[in-house]
Chain A
């Protein structure tokens, strides 16, 4: 027996069917029927009221990244929808599964420049994996099921549902829908046996193999398969920014972070290996530097689930299409155990050089103002290297990712491809809902915090246990560093006058403390971690600190600067 319900209620039932439990949203005119239906579903659907729709998208991203589930947002039409654009674009480039449902004016008013009407399907088309305008209540069940299927399958990404008001209020004979096949879309391509065999042979033949670990390993839930693969043939690996927690930081084969501010060893050795094995990564320019000199000496194997990534930036010798959970396991079976001792030892001098010239100074300073690196490393250690790292964008992000240590998968939440300032605070909120049993540490600068500072209201209301570590240098630090290095120290609009953040935290009822002296740091971190609920720890850090080492933009991957020359 079916019954007639509204499209809005059909949405509620469809979300419950998809296993959604948490929604980040903000009501408004064109989505009111849905919010009215939600009122009766509060026991099953936990709606978190954010303070700005951009916050809803980043929270959904943070939720998705730590949990592996689809993040869900519910917003109104017009400005509600346009405020989600940054989050949608961010989720697209960082392959984060997310469904954004926004209200839309009734179909009779579409195209008339009605109040709060915006062409959301048109705007989000290039930045979403799929989008759809729901114009009839009958389409709700199908569209929602299709949206979740697309968002989470294959290479994940954001999906936008533009929900016309008449479809929300229209009555429908509700039948649950289950989309698990789309003719034009193959999210689980069958790996080719020949490619697997060829990969195994190339690996066996290689003397100096090197693996690039990307977020695809986390998305494919292939952390175990990766370890078995690396360990069987003793292949050293470097991780991309988003792939950092796919392999424990202290794993003997983990040579560190790749990229512009990554570790010296993995970047230099990229141009010395004889076989480069990329797994679930996309050769971003921040990883490769100058493509003309990138790994030219090596054969390249690329494992990816998205065929459009093959040969996009770097020409590869062997693409291996498929979920890396399957393909890595298949290749591991075929390869012979190996050692590569001298090749692995070759990383050591670079690690030592970087430690002596950069790391030691960054994490163990004995005098002068606090440094970002030491704060990060101390927080990480105080949380037993088991916490989730959330960062904003800029120096806080690079220091955070360089010096935080990871022992558990799905522990990095950062805006990679999009580099979205303001991402951190709302993403950390989402992470506390996605991994409620874990400690969530946010590193944020004074610039990025103020871009989405309104979400302190969400933290207050929900008592989200976000440990906010504000690395305050009174500068837009990353841009200032570039101005110092490439624009002759002309600090064009990067110094910032700051408000009293402790007072702001106090106004939101969030306990806060400011550390100025090094002697106060350990204890302050302890107090922060021991305080239940949210906490703001402001660290007054060196104003003109630089993230090092650095591959200048467009420079060769193995030409990293270890110091900034004035």
Chain B
């Protein structure tokens, strides 16, 4: 599991300092909050409002359909203590159409992010250190034309930022974008499935009455 390794095997550049920087801010740990909701419009603003009202900044946010039909999954990262994470969880679950919200620290989940770098092709051609850096970081070149080249890097935040720092030094970046974190839990129990099963049981009971 490269995600758990502070001495990142992939890029060889990540160190504990970089991880520290990224996993806490003002002494507050980074939490990943995974929220499942019914697919009803307007939910995203309700969820983000829970954070804003409690003065917690959302660092990254990813929204997509989940593996359960009709259920949306939100992956949100923010710096907050456990008490705040618990409050955010409860306040989100209080919204009628939210099924479940759970918070995790990095050791409880498998994490990935993707970034795209748009580089100047003339710069890349002029300086062979650039392609070397791309190779060392195990990034992919996905498009090349005479004006620009596009490089894709998937990995942890610090791996991506490390590549970004190196390419910035080499003065070749035209554009840069990094996706929000996506994550799946490492637990062997699927909490959402369990919740839905319980709710279906309750529904059956109500129907019987």
Binding site for B on A (CB under 8 A): 121-122, 125-126, 129-131, 150, 180-186, 306-308, 310-312
Contact = CB atoms under 8 A, between A and B. Distances in A.
A310 B94 CA distance: 12
Interface of B: 37-38, 42, 45-46, 49, 53, 83, 86-87, 90-91, 93-94, 96-99, 196, 199-200, 202-203, 206
Contacts of B46: 125-126
B202 A184 contact: no
Contact of A183 (B42, B91, B93, B99): B99
A126 B91 CA distance: 11
A125 B86 contact: no
Q: Which 4 A-B pairs have the closest CB atoms?
A: A308-B90, A184-B99, A130-B96, A308-B94
A186 B94 CA distance: 10
Given A308-B90, A311-B86, A181 B96 contact: no
Contact of B96 (A129, A306, A310): A129
A184 B42 contact: no
Contacts of A180: 206
The interface centre, meaning the residue of B45, B91, B96 with most chain A CB atoms within 10 A of its CB, is: B96
Nearest to B206: A181
Contacts, number: 51
A125 B49 CA distance: 9
A185 B96 contact: yes
Contacts of A130: 96-97
Given A126-B53, A307-B90, A182 B206 contact: no
Nearest to B53: A126
Contacts of B206: 180-181
Given A181-B206, A184-B99, 14 more contacts: A125-B42, A125-B46, A126-B49, A126-B53, A129-B96, A130-B96, A131-B42, A150-B96, A184-B96, A184-B199, A185-B97, A308-B87, A308-B91, A308-B93
Contacts of A129: 96
Contact of B37 (A125, A184, A311): A184
Given A125-B42, A307-B90, A183 B96 contact: no
B139 to A, nearest CB: 40
Contacts of B87: 308, 311-312
A182 B96 contact: yes
Contacts of A122: 42, 45
Contacts of A121: 42
A183 B99 CA distance: 7
Given A122-B45, A126-B53, A311-B86, A184 B98 contact: yes
Nearest to A189: B202
10 contacts: A131-B42, A150-B96, A182-B96, A184-B37, A184-B98, A184-B199, A186-B199, A306-B94, A312-B87, A312-B90
A183 B53 CA distance: 26
